[in-house]
Chain A
Amino acid sequence: MVDRILYVITVPMVYLAVVWLVLGVIARIVMVLRAPAHPHTLKIFPERKAAPLVALWESFTMPTVRKSKPRFWVFLMLFHAAFGALILSHLDLLPQISIMPKDSPHMLGWGAVGVAVTISVTYFLLRRFASPVREVSVPADYLLLFLLLLTVLTGDTISWGNSWSEDGFVITKQDFGTYLDGLLHFTFEDPADTLYGSHYVVVAIHIFLANLFMMVLPFSKIMHAFFTVALNRFRRV
C-alpha cells in the first residue's frame, strides 16, 4: 500500500502537478492579456530615460525596497537568487545538463542553495508573525511560506542527510538523474528501484510537497513572478 502511494506521488502526481502548473499559469496570464487596456498612463514622475530598461532592472533588483527596507531587501534578494539557483540545480540533476561535473555526487551549490532558501523563508515567516505585517497577512500567506519551508527542509535533509550517513552518499546525484530522466522519457518506472536508501520516504515527501507547491502556485500570489515585469512597466513606461 505504502509503496503504491509513494509511486503515485513520485510519478503520476509529478506529471499532474507540472501540467496543472503550466495550464494554470497560462490561464492566469491570458486573463490579464484579455482585459481591456488601462485608459490612461500610470507612470510616476520624474520620467526615466530608457524607461523599459529601468522597469526591467527594477523588477529584478527591487531598488525601492532596498531604499526603504534594506534588511528585508537583503533577504528578498537572497531568497530569489537562491530560489533561481535551486531550480537550476534541480535541472542540473538531469544527465543531459552538467553544470556540476558529471561524476560529482553534489548538487549545484553543495547544499548551500537550499540552506539560503531555508534561512530566507524562515525570516519571511517570522516577519509575518510580527506587527505590522501580521495585520495585513491572510492565512494563505502563512500556509504558502509554511509549505515552502517544509519543502526546503526535506530537501535539505536529503542533500545534507546523504553526506552525513555512515556509508556516504546513499542516493547520489546520478540516481536522481536517472529518476528525472525516466520522468522525462515517460518510462513510468518506479523510482524506488533506483533511489534505494534509508530515507527514500523523505525523498517522496519532498516530491509530494513540491507537487503541492506547483499546484497551488497558479492560485497564489507567486504569480508575481510572471507579473512583476508588466507591473513595473506600468509605473515607468
Chain B
Amino acid sequence: MDDKKKQELLDAFSEKLTNAVRLYMDGCTRCGTCIDSCHAYQSMPETRYTPVGRAQVVRRLFDRYFKLSGRIAPGMNEAVEFTDEWMQQVLDAAYSCTGCRRCMTVCPFGIDTQQIQGIAKHLVNTAGMTPVVLNMLADMSIAKAETIEDTRENFEQGVKNLEAEVIEKWKSEAGEDAIPIGAQDANVLYVALAGKHSIIPAAAVMNAAKEKWSLSYFEAVNFGAFAGNPAKTKVIARRIIDEATRLNVKEVAICECGTAYRVMKYMTGDHPFKVVSVVELFARYVKEGRIKLDKSKIEGGVTYHDPCQMARNGGIYDEPRYLLEQLTDNFVEMTPTREDNWCCGGGGGLVAMGEKDFRMKSSSVKVDQVKATGAKVLCTACENCHTQLSDLNEHYDVGVKVEFLSELLADALVSE
C-alpha cells in the first residue's frame, strides 16, 4: 500500500474520532464480557466473530496512529499499520457485524461496537472496497431524488396499479384515492419501501383509520447507512426530510424498516415534523378505536422478533406487543426477549449484499430461539429481519410462517 493511500485512510479514520469513539477506542479492557453476547460468535465460535475481536481490528490501527504507546512500543498493544492484508480483515470485521448493539448491553462500559465497525466501514469505503451492491443501491437512491421529475409519472402509474389490491383489503370511501401521493398538509407522510408488500397493507390500515395521509416518492431504506457512508446517509435522508417539509405534513411514518426508522428518528437531527414508526401509528389507531381487528384470523401461536434497530436501538417494544394482543390470544415471547433478543443476523447491509452462506451459518442461535417458542407464526416489523428470518426458515426447515405485522393487521381489519 502506498503512502498516499495510507494517508487517505488515516484522514478517514480521523474524521470518525468523536468524543465517544475516542472513549470506545481507549476504554476497552479486553475483559471479554461481550464475547458470547454476539449471535455470530454463538453460532460460529471464532475470535473474529466476537465483538471485542472485531473491535481490535480497528483498535490496533488506532493504537498505531493515534497513540504515543503505539509508536514507541507497538508490540505491547499489537498495533498494526495499514496494509492491503489488514484492510481485508477490516472488511471482514465490518461486514460480519450486523450493528445490532447487543454486545453494548453487557459491556461494563457500554462500548458501542456498531460505532467501531462504522469506522471499519468508512475505512473500507475509503479504500474502495465497499461491497459494490451497497454503493450501487445508495447511489440509486440519490439519483432518484435528482431525476424525480422524469420518473414521477412512472411512479404514480405504478402506484395506481396497486390501488385495486388495497381496496380488496379495505374499501376506501367513495372518491378518495386508495393511495394518495403528494397530498399537501396531510397528517401522515408514509415512507415505504420499493415493493408492494410495503405499501398495500399499510395503505389499507391507514384508509380504514380514515387517516389523511400521503405516500412518499422515496423509499425509506438508507443504504448509505449500511455502506457506512455518512455523506450519502445524509443525502438519502434529506430527500424525505425535504419532501415532508414541502408537503407540510405533521408526521412522517416510517414503514417496517428498522434502520430507516432509527436514521430518521435519532440520527438526522431535529425536524419540523414528528417521526414515528408505522407500528406506533397503528397501535395508536387501535387505542383510539379508529380500527377494529378480528382476533380469529391467525391460527397457532404467534411470536415476535424485535428488530434490533427498532427495539434496542429505537425504543419500540410495547406497541407491536399491544397490536399482537389484539390479533391473537396465543402470543408467546421469545427467550431471551426485548433488549436481550438475539439479532436475526441480517442487519448492517448483509441481506442487501446477499451473503447467504454467512447469514445462515452465523444465525443458528436465532433458529434455536425461534424453535423453542413452538410458535407457528413468526412476526416481525422490519424488512431486513423478514428476509433473513424467511431465509432461515427455509434453510433450517423451521416450519413457521414469517409475517410482517402490517400484513397481519391488514388481514384482520373489520368494519364496526
Number of interface residues of A (CB under 8 A): 48
Determine if A33 is an interface residue (Cβ-Cβ < 8 Å): yes
CB-based contact A31/B22 at 8 Å = yes
Given contacts A40-B267, A46-B315, A132-B50, whether A228 and B109 have CB atoms under 8 Å apart is: yes
Most buried by B among A69, A132, A133: A132
Within 8 A of B (CB), among A57-95: 58, 62, 64-65, 67-69, 72, 76
Say which residue of A35, A68, A136 sits within 8 Å of B37 (CB atoms).
A68
CB-based contact A136/B32 at 8 Å = yes
Given contacts A136-B32, A219-B68, A232-B109, whether A41 and B266 have CB atoms under 8 Å apart is: yes
Most buried by A among B29, B31, B35, B115: B31
Say which residue of B19, B37, B115 sits within 8 Å of A37 (CB atoms).
B19
CB-based contact B22/A235 at 8 Å = no
CB-based contact A132/B32 at 8 Å = yes
Main secondary structure of the interface of B (DSSP, over half): loop
Q: Mark B281-309, 1 if CB is under 8 A from A, else 0.
A: 00000000000000000000000000000
Stretch at the interface among A6-14, A137-145, A166-174, A187-195: A137-145
Instruction: Give the size category of B's interface with A.
Output: 35 or more
Write out the residue numbers on chain A whose beta carbons fall within 8 Å of the beta carbon of B24: 231
Write out the residue numbers on chain B whose beta carbons fall within 8 Å of the beta carbon of A68: 33, 37, 106
CB-based contact B28/A36 at 8 Å = no
Say which residue of A44, A67, A76 sits within 8 Å of B313 (CB atoms).
A44
CB-based contact A219/B67 at 8 Å = yes
Most buried by B among A46, A136, A220: A136
Determine if B356 is an interface residue (Cβ-Cβ < 8 Å): no
Write out the residue numbers on chain B whose beta carbons fall within 8 Å of the beta carbon of A46: 315, 317, 338-339
CB-based contact B76/A231 at 8 Å = no
Within 8 A of A (CB), among B53-88: 53, 56, 67-69, 75-78
CB-based contact B314/A139 at 8 Å = no
Write out the residue numbers on chain B whose beta carbons fall within 8 Å of the beta carbon of A44: 101, 104-105, 110, 312-313, 339
Q: How far apart are the CA atoms of A132 and B52 in the complex, in Å?
A: 11
Q: Mark B252-294, 1 if CB is under 8 A from A, else 0.
A: 0000000000000011100000000000000000000000000
CB-based contact A62/B110 at 8 Å = no
CB-based contact A38/B19 at 8 Å = yes
CB-based contact B78/A138 at 8 Å = yes
Q: How far apart are the CA atoms of A156 and B299 in the complex, in Å?
A: 68
Within 8 A of A (CB), among B15-61: 17-24, 26-33, 35, 37, 45, 47, 50, 52-53, 56
Say which residue of A136, A140, A224 sits within 8 Å of B52 (CB atoms).
A136
Write out the residue numbers on chain A whose beta carbons fall within 8 Å of the beta carbon of B338: 46
Q: How far apart are the CA atoms of A72 and B72 in the complex, in Å?
A: 33
Determine if B107 is an interface residue (Cβ-Cβ < 8 Å): yes
CB-based contact B109/A224 at 8 Å = yes
Determine if A3 is an interface residue (Cβ-Cβ < 8 Å): no
Determine if B111 is an interface residue (Cβ-Cβ < 8 Å): yes
Within 8 A of B (CB), among A1-59: 28, 31-33, 35-42, 44-47, 58
CB-based contact A38/B76 at 8 Å = no
Which 10 pairs, one residue from A and one from B, show the smallest C-beta to C-beta distance? A235-B110, A45-B315, A133-B32, A38-B20, A231-B109, A38-B18, A140-B76, A135-B47, A219-B69, A40-B267
11 interchain pairs, CB-CB under 8 A: A44-B101, A46-B339, A58-B108, A64-B33, A135-B53, A137-B30, A138-B30, A221-B29, A234-B23, A234-B112, A235-B104
Known contacts A42-B112, A138-B76, A228-B108; 12 additional CB pairs below 8 A are A32-B19, A32-B26, A35-B18, A38-B115, A45-B311, A64-B108, A139-B77, A221-B26, A221-B30, A228-B27, A231-B111, A234-B23
Residues of B within 8 A of A (CB): 17-24, 26-33, 35, 37, 45, 47, 50, 52-53, 56, 67-69, 75-78, 101, 104-112, 115, 266-268, 311-315, 317, 338-339
